[in-house]
Amino acid sequence: MMKKISSALISVYHKEGLAGIVSKLVGTGVTIYSTGGTLGYLEELGASPRSIESLTSYPSILGGRVKTLHPKVFGGILGRRNNEGDMKEFDEYGIPAIDLVIVDLYPFEETLKQTSEEQQIIEKIDIGGISLIRAAAKNFADVLIVPSSKQYADLLGLLEEKNGFSTLEDRKKFAAMAFDISSGYDSAIFNYFNREGRMMSFKKSISEAMPLRYGENPHQQAVFYGNPDEVFEQLHGKQLSYNNLGDLDAAIALIAEFDEPAFAILKHSNACGLASRPALIDAWKDALAGDPVSAFGGVLITNREIDGETAREIDKLFFEVILAPGYEKIALDLLKSRKNRIILLKKSYGFPEKQFKTILNGVVEQDKDLKTETPDDMKVVTEVVPDIREAEDLLFANKIVKHTKSNAIVLVKNKQLLAGGTGQTSRVDALKQAILKCGTFGFDLKGAVMASDAFFPFSDSVEIAFQAGITSVIQPGGSVRDQESIDFCNSVKMSMVFTGFRHFKH
């Protein structure tokens, strides 16, 4: 099923990378048809393309909106070479067979990133190009389709290897890539028109992929669909794993809560250490002190450039990944001392405000939990009011508990995470876990504050917290038995605030 490429239609937006292809086509005697700016570019390369207008006897009209939409163009692509009737019509209407179509679509998604002006966006919806792609891909038995500049290198390799011929397997492969491109393009356009979510239809298309060594466990295969290079630059270390990516997603969301210098250590997507201090080295030391055992093999993240002094302390710990917005040269050189240590440089990136995951035989999508409580959200429900230090710690703790697996309790003192109770089946168990950890690492809970991701159904949690030395509590409120917790706090002079916002995380 080898077929010689005798004719080609080239109509592209991105022209970089075409030169080698055009040289090879000219060298094998291929007749080239082209349009507009592409035609001029091909002439600059030394080719002698024929204009589409000379084929169709029709000019480009409507400001360039209609150029290739003509029976002589689409007939030449869709005509079945082994169909006697199709071939008779080729002769009757003077339709030339087109064996290769190279198209690169208007950059619709890139335009969305650059402007919100609707007319500019609409003009970047490609009509002729997407039609050419679908037509050529449908007739892969006879036509080779190159649907994007991303495939230019693949085409050049094919032309060089097979000297202007293609096999059925080649054409099927490129057709699959074409439908990948066209389906993704259409999904992006649909999501633009449905950005307010009026139509209950879920369409996501991600063409970039990064195969992973394995999934959550070694016996599971995994692929990351997306481009992590948009979020960070990897400066050193081995390939990121499935679990690394999950922890990084959690870490980036958590550190984004803090404006002041902060350092966090995560394990299985939960913070096991976090502190905020004016000096980064102090933030690191206090974050590590929160749970130096769990920190082993963890993911580290900070919102400040890492200096040499801090790097020397960090280097004492075995960890998997570190992410920061910058590194002093001396710090980077020191951290690179272990070859597998993954060092990432954080970039500025605007994450989507929606999230989704597979459930049962479908997908659920929801708004991300972007609510971060402020002093205005804190409603004091007890006779005692939190003092300034407690109020700051309550908000600090609430930011952490929001990013902790439910049921979750977080204990904080002086902007340092003392302990968290994570992923427990009861809120009391989560609190007991946190208190036990504090004892293990020698923390005095006297004057500490407690944050809960959801309301307390009974007063037992605030009773246990008081016995441990905790003096102030932040929680959403909303239980039918809230008053029991309030009454207990009043009886022992504890302060408690309600926010009205639950932060379950499963």
- Hey, what are 406's tokens? 């439910």
CA 336 to chain centre: 26
Residue 449 structure tokens: 């504050």
In the set 70, 138, 162, 432, the catalytic residue is 138
Q: Which of 268, 336, 371, 432 is catalytic?
A: 268
- Return the residue matching tokens 């933030």: 283
Residues contacting residue 199 through CB under 8 Å, at least 6 positions apart: none
Q: Which sign, positive or negative, has the C-alpha torsion 477, 483, 488, 490?
A: positive
DSSP H helical ranges for 275-387: 280-289, 308-314, 329-335
138 is an active site residue: yes
Helix axes 71-78, 128-138, angle to 10 degrees: 30
Tokens of residue 86, six digits:
């199709």
* Strands 472-475 vs 449-452: parallel, antiparallel or unpaired: parallel
| Nearest alpha-carbon partner for 136 in 322, 159, 502, 128 | 128
Distances (CA, A) of 125 to 118, 193, 294, 411: 11, 12, 51, 53
CA distance 21 to 105: 18
Strand-pair partners of 48: none
CA dist., res. 476 & res. 379, Å (int): 10
Kindly state the DSSP code that residue 293 receives in the 8-state scheme. T
24 classed as catalytic: no
Task: Report the number of secondary-structure helices (H) and strands (E) in the chain.
Answer: 18, 23
**What single-letter amino acid sits at 96?**
P
Omega cis (within 30) before 407: yes
Q: Which residue, 204, 287, 211, is CA-closest to 251? A: 287
C-alpha closest to that of 190 among 177, 179, 204:
204
Closest CA to 405 of 385, 429, 374, 372: 429
For residue 70, what is the DSSP state?
Answer: S
Taking the CA of residue 233 as centre, how many other CA atoms within 13 Å lie in the half-sphere pointing to its CB?
7
Residue 303 DSSP code: S
Active-site residue set: 138, 268
